[in-house]
Structure 1
Amino acid sequence: MVPVVSWLVGRIVRLRGDAGDVPGWVMVTVMTAGLVAAVFAVFRDAIVVAVQSALEQVVSDTGR
């Protein structure tokens, strides 16, 4: 995933013609993706169980 982010940032900088700082929204997006990946890595099992439980409830409610 990191090579894709690096490519995207480089592409945006070239399109805008900026040789300076990374645009703020790109930094926020990259940092948010990093936080989501870190949280998912730590709490993967709990997240999977919670999503499966929620989906089972939705499926069982629609089957009435």
Structure 2
Amino acid sequence: MFADRAHAAPARQDPSLGSTDDPERGDVPGWVLITLMTAGLVVLIWALAGPALTNLFEQAIARVSGL
């Protein structure tokens, strides 16, 4: 009874759903996590270095323009 199922043809998959064993498919939750962590790091670095970079830029412009 169960031996017949072991040798049965595998069920066909809908091609519009894509293959689940495709190595190029990627890890979507992983990419989402990497994207969110990168955005968080950018915001953190910008918050810490923003005022210093603004000051540096304003000093450079003042020296170049002679104000």
The TM-score range, normalised by the shorter chain, is 0.3 to 0.5
Higher relative contact order (CA 8 A, sep 6+): 1
TM-score scaled by structure 1? Answer: 0.36
TM-score scaled by structure 2? Answer: 0.35
Instruction: Give the greater-gyration-radius structure (CA).
Output: 2
